[in-house]
């Protein structure tokens, strides 16, 4: 018999994805492209660089209307790179502020399959953070911990502890509000359903989810 589930809402995870986009836009500000949107208005673009975790998180954000795709810069800027005309642009820009996202109604996306899709994506982002921290530890000569042992509460939005970690049994909160990722619970709950899903997409309820 499976244990009772405690799941964060899909809306709370969407907020964290958008928070991450804004954070990365800020971090990469010196290197960001300003690209015209569909109306010719220049937008500061977020470039996911075809990195899996951010491809997935921005696909969720685009589906819910929190971000919108931008056409890539002219080919002449990257003469040494041959672009695949069938590949989607890695650039997008936020349509929502974080306040807008916090107040938005994402109930049309609140399904367990969408939750699993979002949590699978969140796991990829945690993996990416672990990899980045491992590199930083190696450069500093320090020993890093195992995956998920850094404090997740310091890596996400101020809402994360209350809106995600305290609501979901995939996360463990210690007495000092240090949040850890519980791999066993993630495997039991999310990956069990993930392996059963015939179609792994993030979509509205009325689209058949």
pLDDT tens digits, residue range 88-122? Answer: 899 999 999 999 999 999 999 999 999 999 999 99
pLDDT tens digits, residue range 29-77? Answer: 999 999 999 999 999 999 998 999 999 999 999 999 999 999 988 764 4
pLDDT at 176: 83
Domain limits, the chain: 10-103, 107-204
Binned at pLDDT 50, 70 and 90, residue 83 comes out as low
pLDDT value at 149 more than 60: no
Residue 89, CA distances (Å) to 63, 75, 101, 169 in order: 15, 12, 23, 35
Torsion (CA) 141, 181, 98, 31 in degrees, nearest 10: 30
pLDDT at 145: 45
Burial class of residue 81, CB neighbours in 10 A (0-12, 13-18, 19+): exposed
Q: 42 pairs with which residues across the strands?
A: 36
């Amino acid at each position: 018999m499976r244990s009772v589930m405690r799941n964060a809402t899909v809306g709370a995870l969407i907020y964290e994805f958008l928070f991450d986009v804004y954070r990365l836009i800020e971090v990469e500000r010196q290197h960001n492209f300003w690209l015209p949107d569909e109306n010719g208005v220049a937008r500061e673009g977020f470039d996911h660089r075809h990195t899996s975790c951010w491809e997935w998180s921005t696909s969720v954000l685009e589906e819910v209307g929190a971000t919108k795709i931008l056409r890539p810069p002219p080919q002449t800027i990257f003469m040494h790179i041959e672009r695949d005309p069938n590949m989607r642009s890695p650039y997008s820009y936020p349509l929502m502020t974080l306040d807008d996202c916090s107040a938005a109604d994402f109930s049309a996306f609140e399904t367990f399959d969408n939750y699993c899709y979002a949590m699978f994506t969140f796991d990829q982002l945690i993996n990416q953070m672990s990899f980045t921290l491992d590199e930083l530890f190696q450069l500093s000569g320090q020993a890093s911990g195992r995956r998920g042992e850094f404090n997740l509460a310091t890596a996400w939005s101020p809402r994360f502890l209350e809106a995600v970690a305290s609501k979901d049994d995939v996360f463990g909160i210690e007495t000092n509000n240090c949040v850890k990722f519980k791999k066993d619970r993630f495997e039991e709950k999310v990956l069990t359903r993930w392996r059963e899903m015939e179609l792994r997409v993030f979509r509205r309820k009325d689209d058949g989810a």
